[in-house]
């Protein structure tokens, strides 16, 4: 087991080493740098063996040509923001709804992109009928049916699947900090290992991922995640990678040293590190757009540099591509009258922003 102290000592030098990427100064806007003239992130990342991409919505790909063009220009990998989750893909017990997931796969394959699957087993996006099934003893069959049906449908076409998502919630007071979800209540802690084993049987060539949030945070969450990963690996669970959601916030700094420690420790367990839902919430920053964009840029850069001090993530996805469609600005999420957030690489008009430049410089600086 890697102690935090050992690793911090080792990584200390790595952290203090020259930054992975050249210290880019003010964003292009401020210097007349023509960001639009630079290659797409897809191309820049691919030169370093990295897949850059974004969460997408199928309805938008069909009805917004500017969005579709930006996705094609910037993305080498896609993940369906919602279409492959439990409730959207199986809203009723008898009614499977694969259309949007199918269309997303088809769009990606038509444009030479890879696809991540998100997510098979999660406490959220669970329809009431499934919760009732879990509560009445049908959980084992439901878990197996969901994985074998959804993963089986796309066998060989999905590079990586988030087999489980957000399974830890230490506040629930359960062993290992596990979340007291409907899945846990129905099946106990063993549902997680079971999910991974069924997933491995269903699509042996697919990268199996535990997706979670908070790896960059202060406090004990990163260590809780790591200890659970150690337990899974020790028990022989067929897990290949850790998905770090990476929903950053300008309210808090990235805990770079602990993040690097986490990444190195996970790599030492034989796990790959993936950045799966990167974005930056700028709601705490003043109204000045350049200050807000610079703040998100700085968080994204600090985060990626801390990860790369330990390992190069081979998949880097933002949770959306344009502020126009960020979930943070969705009608149900945005406080009435509040200003739209600017969390993503492209603005509402699909123009590249400082956050885009942070990604560009990260890839070119590796
Ligand atoms: O499609 C229905 C529509 O028919 C209905 O009229 C409408 C109003 O009820 O809801 C629509 O579904 C919404 C769905 O997004 C599609 O827009 C759900 O209510 C809403 O809860 C859902 O929110 C998604 C959320 O996950 C929950 O699944 C967000 O778009 C999505 O960005 C967010 O993504 C999560 C990741 O999966 C996991 N990590 C955190 C991340 C952000 O919360």
Distance CA 272, CA 316 (A): 12
| pLDDT single digits (tens) 75-93 | 999 999 999 999 999 999 9
Residue 226 pLDDT > 50 = yes
Nearest to 284 by CA among 244, 329, 330, 342: 342
Q: What is the pLDDT of residue 334?
A: 85
CA of 333 to the centre of ligand 1 (A): 10
**Which residues is 249 bridged to in the sheet?**
281
Mean pLDDT, the chain, integer: 92
CA of 88 to the centre of ligand 1 (A): 9
Mean pLDDT calculated for residue range 183-190: 98
Q: How confident is the model at residue 8 (pLDDT cuts 50, 70, 90)?
A: very low
Q: Is the distance from the beta carbon of residue 82 to the nearest atom of ligand 1 less than 6 Å?
A: yes
CB 81 within 8 A of CB 54: no
Q: What is the pLDDT of residue 252?
A: 94
Residue 6 pLDDT > 80 = no
Q: What is the pLDDT of residue 335?
A: 83
| pLDDT single digits (tens) 298-356 | 999 999 999 999 999 999 999 999 999 999 999 888 888 889 999 999 999 999 999 99
CB 76 within 8 A of CB 51: yes
Q: How confident is the model at residue 10 (pLDDT cuts 50, 70, 90)?
A: very low
Residue 38 pLDDT > 80 = yes
Q: What is the pLDDT of residue 41?
A: 98
CB 350 within 8 A of CB 320: no
H/E stretch holding 281: strand 272-281
Residue 27 pLDDT > 60 = no
Residue of the CA atom closest to atom 9 of ligand 1: 332
Residue 22 pLDDT > 70 = no
CB 44 within 8 A of CB 360: yes
**Range 288-294, long-range pairs (CB < 8 A, 24+ positions):** 289/342, 290/27, 290/29, 290/30, 292/250, 292/342, 293/27, 293/29, 293/342, 293/353, 293/354, 293/355, 294/26, 294/27, 294/354
| pLDDT single digits (tens) 124-177 | 999 999 999 999 999 999 999 999 999 999 999 999 999 999 999 999 999 999
Q: How confident is the model at residue 3 (pLDDT cuts 50, 70, 90)?
A: low
Alpha helices in 3-138 (DSSP H): 4-16, 28-31, 41-46, 58-63, 65-74, 86-89, 99-110, 128-135
Tokens of 305: 């540099």
Which are the catalytic amino acids?
A: 166, 277
Which residue out of 327, 330, 331 has the highest number of ligand 1 atoms within 8 Å of its CB and is therefore the one to mutate?
327
Can you tell me which residue has the tokens 């790595």? 14
Q: How confident is the model at residue 102 (pLDDT cuts 50, 70, 90)?
A: very high
Distance CA 330, CA 32 (A): 32
Mean pLDDT calculated for residue range 225-238: 98
CB 348 within 8 A of CB 320: no
CA of 44 to the centre of ligand 1 (A): 31
Distance CA 108, CA 117 (A): 12
Backbone angles phi and psi of 121, in degrees to 5: -125, 115
Q: What is the pLDDT of residue 338?
A: 87
Residues 6+ positions from 352 with CB-CB distance below 8 Å: 28, 35, 36, 38, 345, 346
Residue of the CA atom closest to atom 34 of ligand 1: 81
CA of 147 to the centre of ligand 1 (A): 20
Q: What is the pLDDT of residue 308?
A: 98
Residue 14 pLDDT > 70 = no
What separation in angstroms does the CA of 275 have from each of 120, 131, 176, 279? 18, 30, 23, 10
In percent, the amount of the chain with pLDDT more than 90 equals 89
Q: What is the pLDDT of residue 21?
A: 32
**Closest ligand 1 atom number to CA of residue 85:** 28
Q: What is the pLDDT of residue 32?
A: 65
Better-predicted residue by pLDDT, 20 or 257 = 257
């Amino acid at each position: 087991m890697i102690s935090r102290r050992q690793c911090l000592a080792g990584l200390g030098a790595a952290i203090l080493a020259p930054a992975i990427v050249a210290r880019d100064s003010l964003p292009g806007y401020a210097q007349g740098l023509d960001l639009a003239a630079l290659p797409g992130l897809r191309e820049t990342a691919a030169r370093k063996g990295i897949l850059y991409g974004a969460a997408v919505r199928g309805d938008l790909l069909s009805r917004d040509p500017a969005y579709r063009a930006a996705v094609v220009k910037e993305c080498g990998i896609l993940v369906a923001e919602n279409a492959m989750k439990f409730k959207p893909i199986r809203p009723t017990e008898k009614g499977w709804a694969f259309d949007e997931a199918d269309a997303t796969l088809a769009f990606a394959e038509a444009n030479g992109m890879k696809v991540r699957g998100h997510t098979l087993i999660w406490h959220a996006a669970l329809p009431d009928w499934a919760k009732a099934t879990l509560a009445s003893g049908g959980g084992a069959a439901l878990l197996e049916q969901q994985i074998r049906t959804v993963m089986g449908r796309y066998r060989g076409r999905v590079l990586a699947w988030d087999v489980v998502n957000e399974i830890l919630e230490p506040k629930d007071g359960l062993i290992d900090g596990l979340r007291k979800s409907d899945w846990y209540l129905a099946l106990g802690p063993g549902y997680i290992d079971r999910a991974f084993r069924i997933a491995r049987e269903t699509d042996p060539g697919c990268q199996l991922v535990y997706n979670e949030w908070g790896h960059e945070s202060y406090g004990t969450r990163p260590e809780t995640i790591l200890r659970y990963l150690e337990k899974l690996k020790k028990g022989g669970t067929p897990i290949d990678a850790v998905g770090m959601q990476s929903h950053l916030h300008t309210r808090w700094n990235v805990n770079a040293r602990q993040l690097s420690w986490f990444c190195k420790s996970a790599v030492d367990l034989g796990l790959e590190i993936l950045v799966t839902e990167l974005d930056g919430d700028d709601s705490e920053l003043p109204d000045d757009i350049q200050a807000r964009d610079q703040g998100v840029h700085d968080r994204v850069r600090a985060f990626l540099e801390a990860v790369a001090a330990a390992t190069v993530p081979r998949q880097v996805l933002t949770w959306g591509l344009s502020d126009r469609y960020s979930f943070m600005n969705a009608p149900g999420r945005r406080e009435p009258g509040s200003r739209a957030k600017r969390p993503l690489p492209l603005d509402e008009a699909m123009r590249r922003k400082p956050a885009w430049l942070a990604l560009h410089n990260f890839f070119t600086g590796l």
